[in-house]
Structure 1
Amino acid sequence: MHTVKHNYTTMPEPPRCTGSINTRELRFSRAMIFAIEEINNSTELLPGIKLGYQIYDSCASVPVAVHVAFQLSNGLDPVFYTSDNCSQSGMVMAVVGESGSTPSISMSRITGPFKIPQVSHFATCACLSNKQQYPSFFRTIPSDQFQADALAKLVKHFGWTWIGAVRSDSDYGNNGMASFLDAAHREGICVEYSESFYRTHPRSRIQRVADVIRRSTAMVVVAFAAFGDLRLLLEELSLEPSPPRQWIGSEDWVTDTELLKFSFCAGAIGFGIERSVIPGLRDFLLDLSPSKVAASPVLTEFWEDAFNCRLGKSAVTDKSVCDGTEDIKMLQSPYTDTSQLRITNMVYKAVYAIAHAIHKAVCQETNSTTQCDAFTRIESKELSLTTDSPDCFPCPKEFWPNAERDTCLPKPVEFLSYNEVLGIILAAVSVGGACLAIITAAVFYRHRTSPIVRANNSELSFLLLFSLTLCFLCSLTFIGAPSAWSCMLRHTAFGITFVLCMSCVLGKTIVVLMAFKATLPGSNVMKWFGPPQQRMTVVSFTLIQVLICTIWLVLSPPFPMKNLTIYKERIILECALGSAIGFWAVLGYIGLLAVFCFVLAVLARKLPDNFNEAKLITFSMLIFCAVWITFIPAYLSSPGKFTVAVEIFAILASSFGLILCIFAPKCFIILFKPEKNTKKHLMNKNQS
């Protein structure tokens, strides 16, 4: 780029190029025109539609490339489209280029947010594969990651373990060399030096790099550099002969015929893009009539530079006027050299890739004929359901993309079922607990006339065992796929059965207290808490919970819900609470009764009696409260189906705590210590 010093008193000049033309890049641009004309003349690809183009010279300069990118993003000058035959006035559908990685990165930063596809034929930096940073960047050339690994294996293959390294001080050179050095380290290759330079650096910087190469002991130099940069370094090295070096080249320069003039690079080895043949391209490149040349400033510059003459009055005065005898077929130039079409083929493929994408968007095949609508308004972000598409569409909420990210698959639905180990274990424990309660009730019924059963309020004991059976069985409603009825049943059944259980325990605790109060002289307190009052207490406490559950179900009942937020890759089928207030009111009421039972049991725990239930109730309430206090944080933090498992565990643990603490000691005496199940032992209050 032509550099100017700004005086800040006049408008700065627009950026422009200076120096000699790069005839290889000219061939690339002419190959693009060739491909476009081929497509426009095709009856199969985009029939009836003509592609237009504009070519910009970035001078391999980031500021100029950025300037061009802004022009493309803003839209072309609408004056250019004066005909009604153009449907996309001023709109750029895609960009072919840039050749360099650094300008491509700068352009992609600008065109990316506008979803303008950019297809590069020569930008190989591995960093450009990052779709998050460069969503609309594509290329027809492989990433440097592959080349770096291959170069390291190549060096290792020849047994060169002591090398030097030079690179372009650009995204291409720095990223490529970093990948190569990592690969070389893995291969056991040692690097004597690693130097960077760029074509715009002062000559002293390039001289310093040349001196490092001359003084080094490494006979092998790996150059991950752009052609324009390396040419300057080789010119500097040619000024002062240096010991022969084996050069290892990256694809940017190793196949460029212009570097053959440096004799010490004639034996360079490296990797190149596969050669190809483009039929008709050579004839197109050589078909330059004087009128075509004169109509293009770029071709005019090329012609004058190639034949050292001037066309008309545009040339400098020290050159002779071109007389028309100039024969481009006899010209030895990278422009005319089609023997190794490598990168040129990448340009050709880039144009066809864009054309095929537009074809799929605006053309339809019916009855073996193709119809294309030139006036179809397509968005540039639309070029498919394939890998590396510039704009992904999200799968529906209940679907999840496959590994290739090109198909949406239904998310698996997850809930605590009877078909998994956890569900089977919890169901088995629930049924086992219910059987244990029934067996205990059978033992009590078989010995219902024994002193230990009669002394501990047999009616409330049987009612408590019945409620415990229901508590164990209600946990089964939490297993299986949630439905509208199961969601309402599981929470209300759990709330009511546990309150029935707590009411029985509370009634038994009050009976213990009243019984010892009745032994005091002149006390007739038991007539105020006889069997009718005990039944009324149980019914009253239970009806309050029934009322709470009824209000909950009427106003905002629990309902089945597909939880899509906990896990992105699967659906959790669970019961939503409906009203959180209703759920915590049910739990809170159970907790209130449990605390009340615990306080009364603590007050009665030291009353003398061998069969005083207060001690047993105290232990059972301790376990009950401990289980449900730890349940709250575990419930709130457990994800998915484990929330249900935690609730079932709390139900089972508290139920087992009640049945084991209250009934296990009595069953042990009834079955294994019948000598203690006597009225004499019951009345012996001093015996522990």
Structure 2
Amino acid sequence: MEEIARQNITGKVWIASDGWYPLQIFSENKLLKTLIGTFGIWSRKGMVPGFQDFLFSAHPSKSPNDIFIKDFWENIFGCKWPESMSDKTTQNENTMFCTGAEKLNEINKILLDTPHLIITYNVYNAVYAVAHALHDLYSCKHGEGPFANGMCANIYNFEPWQLLHYVKNIHFINKIDAEVFFDKNGNPPPVYDILNWQLNPEGSMDFVKVGSIDFSASKGQGLIINESAIMWSGGKTQVPRSVCSESCAPGYRKSTRLGEPICCFDCVLCSSGEISNQTDSNECIKCPDDHWSNERRDKCIPKRIEYLSYEDPMGATLAAISIFCAVICTTAFCIFIKFQDTPIVKANNRGLSYVLLLCLVLCFLCSLVFIGQPKTWTCMLRQTAFGITFALGVSCVLAKTIMVVIAFNATKPNSNLKKWVGSRLPNSIVLVCTTIQVIICIAWLATSPPSSEQNMKSQIGIIIIECNEGSTTAFWCVLGYMGLLATVSFIVAFLARNLPDSFNEAKLITFSMFVFVSVWLSFIPAYLSTRGKYMVAVEIFAILASSAGLLACIFFPKCYIIILRPDRNTRECLMGKGIGGNKKNT
């Protein structure tokens, strides 16, 4: 402590143990600047009645044979008795000799303040404890004693353990109204005073009681602190703040600096999804799965729920396009019904054209099932309805393409394909190809059906309500089978593109299948690279684009002739010229 004072280290709050108080150095004025504001925890003191008067009356001359009083005198006054100086003791000019004229009642009162009387008070209680134990031992009645067979100890000849029994059980109130007893472990009452070392107006040090600790008190009542009575380092009354690091605000956590005191730390912003809602948090708290941290990281807020809804501009736009295309397709169907007896409608299986148009209407409308909050039934319906309707539509296109090839080759002499001309073969093709897709969908729904789920991990701060396809393999089997039908239709139509004009619908089918396959090949990487509502939007766009491609490429040219060029809607024109209007050689 002398070295600390010499280097003028101030501004520190020291915590003193009960081992400090017997040392004279801690009451020296040169340490006042360093030690003011120190806190000490000592056993509760008590003023022994009459002890101060006894102390002031003590003098070596009254007890010349008492060696302890001479040592006490030397320690109190900082002097040496001449007779205590041996020949080997080195004397110097600063050595002060005791004369006996010194007066105890004139010394600094710090010597008689709290710490110096604690041992005296404890000895006082110890003597009384033994006295009470001896009294209880003496008062024991034969036959009612605490030992074997009700025996009592002999007051003139007892064993130490017999006296110890009574000492453990003493319980009395001393002359300053303090309880004295021992617990089951032999310990005195665990009560301590909290003392604050303060500078008094005379420039010396006082030990001021500012609180107490009672470990035997009920929970929450053991610690009592009088904050207004505390004097901090430097004589200040305001609680000192750490000069190393300021407090961390809510939203931050403390990160201790390696190799530095615990009061030196950095304030680190809580990670996304974590918060701290109090000052100087040591750790950040993780938000529940359905919540996320706000920007200040001091509160958990519900995650934003996302799905492709009708209120969303993108969802509303796709729904409007879907309905518009369905209306256009229905209009084309009505045109075909009204002009069903005209040559261009009757050409190449009128019934398949009706089925294909109705199928395209369903394809446009099935995209509406993809919009809105996913439910279990909508998740099961959307992919199966889409897969079956598209399989039906592509099967119709395949049947029409095959019939173009068969019809052309059946006109050749001695052809065996004439028996296949008619409605039985295309109907069988449509039925078989569609049934296979239906079987795939039934197996999908029976083994691992799609369901609605909340995806909380895909995007930060967002709960994506989406459909879990259940079986990814089944989903890609549905798409793969549909792609297989489209590829076969494209190949057959491409090979039949140069047939005579009367059967040149193969050219339109070729281009429509090219658009269809291109759309779905582009769909795969786009679908796999998106998440949430954008993934659903990509699939809806693919459905609308591929359906619109079939409608535009196969039926718009025929509707154009029916409505705007009725003069070309004749058998002679169809046999002599194609839909495109170019002359061909048969």
- TM-score normalised by the chain length of structure 2: 0.58
In the TM superposition, what are the counterparts of 1:437-448 in structure 2 within 5 Å? Answer: 437-448=329-340
One-letter amino acid of the counterpart of residue 576, structure 2:
N
- Alignment partner of 1:397 out of 289, 294, 304: 289
Q: Specify the alignment match of 1:681 in structure 2.
A: 573
Q: Specify the alignment match of 1:602 in structure 2.
A: 494
- Alignment partner of 2:544 out of 649, 652, 657: 652
Q: Provide, for residues 352-384 of structure 1, a one-character-per-residue CA deviation record: whole Å limited to 9, x for no partner.
A: x9xxxxxxxxxxxxxxxxxxxxxxxxxxxxxx8
Find the aligned partners of 1:573 and 1:337 in 2 and give their Cα distance. Answer: 60
Shift, 1:570, TM fit: 1.4
- Taking structure 1 as reference, are residues 320 and 398 closer, same or farther at Cα in structure 2, changes over 3 Å only? farther
- Taking structure 1 as reference, are residues 301 and 593 closer, same or farther at Cα in structure 2, changes over 3 Å only? farther
Name the SS for the 2:465 alignment partner. strand
* Alpha carbons 2:469, 2:475 under 8 Å: kept: yes
One-letter amino acid of the counterpart of residue 431, structure 2:
V
In the TM superposition, what are the counterparts of 1:348-427 in structure 2 within 5 Å? Answer: 385-427=277-319
Find the aligned partners of 1:337 and 1:603 in 2 and give their Cα distance. Answer: 100
Name the SS for the 1:560 alignment partner. strand
Q: Provide, for residues 218-272 of structure 1, a one-character-per-residue CA deviation record: whole Å limited to 9, x for no partner.
A: xxxxxxxxxxxxxxxxxxxxxxxxxxxxxxxxxxxxxxxxxxxxxxxxxxxxxxx
Q: Specify the alignment match of 1:630 in structure 2.
A: 522
* Alpha carbons 2:9, 2:34 under 8 Å: kept: no
Find the aligned partners of 1:501 and 1:299 in 2 and give their Cα distance. Answer: 103
Shift, 1:647, TM fit: 0.4
Name the SS for the 1:345 alignment partner. coil
Q: Specify the alignment match of 2:13 in structure 1.
A: 29
* Alpha carbons 1:28, 1:344 under 8 Å: kept: no
Q: Which runs of 5 or more structure 2 residues have no equivalent in the other structure?
A: 36-74, 80-90, 111-198, 206-230, 249-275
Q: Specify the alignment match of 2:461 in structure 1.
A: 569
Q: Provide, for residues 413-456 of structure 1, a one-character-per-residue CA deviation record: whole Å limited to 9, x for no partner.
A: 11101111111111111111111111001111111111111113
* Alpha carbons 1:402, 1:409 under 8 Å: kept: yes
Q: Specify the alignment match of 2:49 in structure 1.
A: none
Name the SS for the 2:240 alignment partner. helix
Q: Specify the alignment match of 1:509 in structure 2.
A: 401
Find the aligned partners of 1:398 and 1:22 in 2 and give their Cα distance. Answer: 58
* Alpha carbons 1:398, 1:564 under 8 Å: kept: yes
Q: Specify the alignment match of 2:478 in structure 1.
A: 586
* Alpha carbons 2:293, 2:299 under 8 Å: kept: yes
Find the aligned partners of 2:474 and 2:562 in 1 and give their Cα distance. Answer: 43
Name the SS for the 1:486 alignment partner. helix
Find the aligned partners of 1:302 and 1:618 in 2 and give their Cα distance. Answer: 106
Find the aligned partners of 1:490 and 1:643 in 2 and give their Cα distance. Answer: 14
Shift, 1:18, TM fit: 5.5
- Structure 1 position 475 matched with structure 2 position 373: no
- Structure 1 position 527 matched with structure 2 position 422: no
- Alignment partner of 1:303 out of 28, 31, 34: 31
Shift, 1:625, TM fit: 0.8
Shift, 1:345, TM fit: 3.0
* Alpha carbons 1:23, 1:302 under 8 Å: kept: no
* Alpha carbons 2:232, 2:238 under 8 Å: kept: no
One-letter amino acid of the counterpart of residue 391, structure 1:
E
Shift, 1:391, TM fit: 1.9
> Which protein is bigger by CA-based radius of gyration?
2
Q: Specify the alignment match of 2:53 in structure 1.
A: none
Find the aligned partners of 1:623 and 1:494 in 2 and give their Cα distance. Answer: 18
Runs of 4+ in structure 1 over 6 Å off: 296-301, 304-307, 310-313, 316-323, 336-340
Shift, 1:19, TM fit: 5.8
Q: Provide, for residues 559-601 of structure 1, a one-character-per-residue CA deviation record: whole Å limited to 9, x for no partner.
A: 1010111212110000011000000000000000000000001
One-letter amino acid of the counterpart of residue 282, structure 2:
P
Q: Specify the alignment match of 2:511 in structure 1.
A: 619
* Alpha carbons 2:408, 2:503 under 8 Å: kept: no
- Taking structure 1 as reference, are residues 422 and 647 closer, same or farther at Cα in structure 2, changes over 3 Å only? same
- Taking structure 1 as reference, are residues 320 and 483 closer, same or farther at Cα in structure 2, changes over 3 Å only? farther
Find the aligned partners of 1:306 and 1:411 in 2 and give their Cα distance. Answer: 56
One-letter amino acid of the counterpart of residue 617, structure 1:
I
Q: Specify the alignment match of 1:225 in structure 2.
A: none
Name the SS for the 1:28 alignment partner. coil
- Taking structure 1 as reference, are residues 596 and 347 closer, same or farther at Cα in structure 2, changes over 3 Å only? closer
Q: Specify the alignment match of 1:450 in structure 2.
A: 342
One-letter amino acid of the counterpart of residue 435, structure 1:
V
In the TM superposition, what are the counterparts of 1:142-157 in structure 2 within 5 Å? Answer: none
Q: Specify the alignment match of 2:378 in structure 1.
A: 486
One-letter amino acid of the counterpart of residue 583, structure 2:
Q
Shift, 1:659, TM fit: 0.2
Find the aligned partners of 2:414 and 2:204 in 1 and give their Cα distance. Answer: 132
Shift, 1:526, TM fit: 3.3
- Structure 1 position 549 matched with structure 2 position 445: no
Name the SS for the 1:561 alignment partner. strand
Find the aligned partners of 1:498 and 1:564 in 2 and give their Cα distance. Answer: 32
* Alpha carbons 1:21, 1:301 under 8 Å: kept: no
Report % sequence identity: 45
- Structure 1 position 345 matched with structure 2 position 250: no
Q: Specify the alignment match of 1:539 in structure 2.
A: 431
One-letter amino acid of the counterpart of residue 29, structure 1:
V
Q: Specify the alignment match of 1:140 in structure 2.
A: none
Q: Specify the alignment match of 2:325 in structure 1.
A: 433
- Taking structure 1 as reference, are residues 347 and 413 closer, same or farther at Cα in structure 2, changes over 3 Å only? closer
Find the aligned partners of 2:547 and 2:24 in 1 and give their Cα distance. Answer: 93
Shift, 1:385, TM fit: 3.8
Find the aligned partners of 1:603 and 1:554 in 2 and give their Cα distance. Answer: 39
Shift, 1:558, TM fit: 0.7
Find the aligned partners of 2:287 and 2:356 in 1 and give their Cα distance. Answer: 53
Find the aligned partners of 1:433 and 1:522 in 2 and give their Cα distance. Answer: 45
* Alpha carbons 1:28, 1:347 under 8 Å: kept: no
Find the aligned partners of 1:615 and 1:561 in 2 and give their Cα distance. Answer: 45
- TM-score normalised by the chain length of structure 1: 0.50
The worse-fitting range, judged by mean Cα deviation, of 562-571 and 523-532 is 523-532
CA-based RMSD of the aligned residues comes to 3.8
- Taking structure 1 as reference, are residues 296 and 676 closer, same or farther at Cα in structure 2, changes over 3 Å only? farther
One-letter amino acid of the counterpart of residue 629, structure 1:
L
Find the aligned partners of 1:609 and 1:432 in 2 and give their Cα distance. Answer: 33
Find the aligned partners of 1:397 and 1:529 in 2 and give their Cα distance. Answer: 63
- Taking structure 1 as reference, are residues 304 and 433 closer, same or farther at Cα in structure 2, changes over 3 Å only? closer
Q: Specify the alignment match of 1:379 in structure 2.
A: none
Q: Provide, for residues 596-617 of structure 1, a one-character-per-residue CA deviation record: whole Å limited to 9, x for no partner.
A: 0000010000111155111101
Find the aligned partners of 1:532 and 1:17 in 2 and give their Cα distance. Answer: 115
Q: Aligned residues, how many?
A: 379
* Alpha carbons 1:413, 1:573 under 8 Å: kept: yes
Find the aligned partners of 1:433 and 1:474 in 2 and give their Cα distance. Answer: 12
* Alpha carbons 2:2, 2:31 under 8 Å: kept: no
Name the SS for the 1:418 alignment partner. coil
Find the aligned partners of 1:522 and 1:24 in 2 and give their Cα distance. Answer: 120
* Alpha carbons 1:610, 1:687 under 8 Å: kept: no
